[in-house]
Amino acid sequence: MANYNTSEFRKGLKVVIDNEPYLMVDMEFMKPGKGQAVYRTRLKNMLRGNVIDRNYRSGDSIDAAEVEEHAVQYLYNDSRNWFFMNSESFEQYSIDKEFLGDVHKWLKDGMNVEVTFWNGKPISVDAPKNVELKVEYTEPAARGNTATNVQKPAKLETGADVFVPAFINIGDVVKINTQTGEYLERVSKS
């Protein structure tokens, strides 16, 4: 198994701690006046999502997580499981809705996403940073409400609920940031 020396530590590194994969989300190098340099890391468990802090001394090493990332295409869901297909091998994967978390709200049939595998099992699904989705339902704007920052709820074609500006109507296509769930812009009018 490969490993990383402290001099190779950086954000985004995937490592194994206690036989579980972790993602290094933050790394800080500290050189005290006396003694060895210390590498302060913040690591996110890729299976459970909890975050831990660990310190390493200069010269320490940590095992690399042997994860694979594949571009897959979202096919469909049966409201309990979401189905994906590897575009190269045509292998299909079924992933439980609870495992997906909020990602399922942004997936549209035929959309390409990144799936990370560890020991042959999917451990994370990453939707594109921004998605363009059609507004299925929203209330009409209140007459005379011309303030630019007025927001109203809207239901998108994937079932996601978001807040959009008052000028958005049913049938409009809007761009949404999948990390925050925030409206970015109107792409096209109905």
pLDDT of amino acid 145: 60
Q: Are residues 136 and 183 in the same domain?
A: yes
User: pLDDT grade, residue 75 (50/70/90)?
Assistant: very high
Q: Are residues 143 and 171 in the same domain?
A: yes
Q: Which domain CATH number covers 77? A: 2.40.50.140
Q: Are residues 58 and 72 in the same domain?
A: no
pLDDT (mean) for 105-133 = 90
30: left (phi > 0), else alpha (psi -120 to 50), else beta?
A: beta
Q: Are residues 150 and 110 in the same domain?
A: no
Mind listing the pLDDT tens digit for each residue in 9-67?
999 899 999 999 999 999 999 888 888 889 999 999 988 889 999 999 988 999 999 88
101 is written with which tokens? Answer: 């978390």
pLDDT of amino acid 31: 86
Residue 88's domain comprises: 67-126
The last residue of a domain, from among 19, 36, 63: 63
Overall number of domains in the chain = 3
51 is written with which tokens? Answer: 């975050």
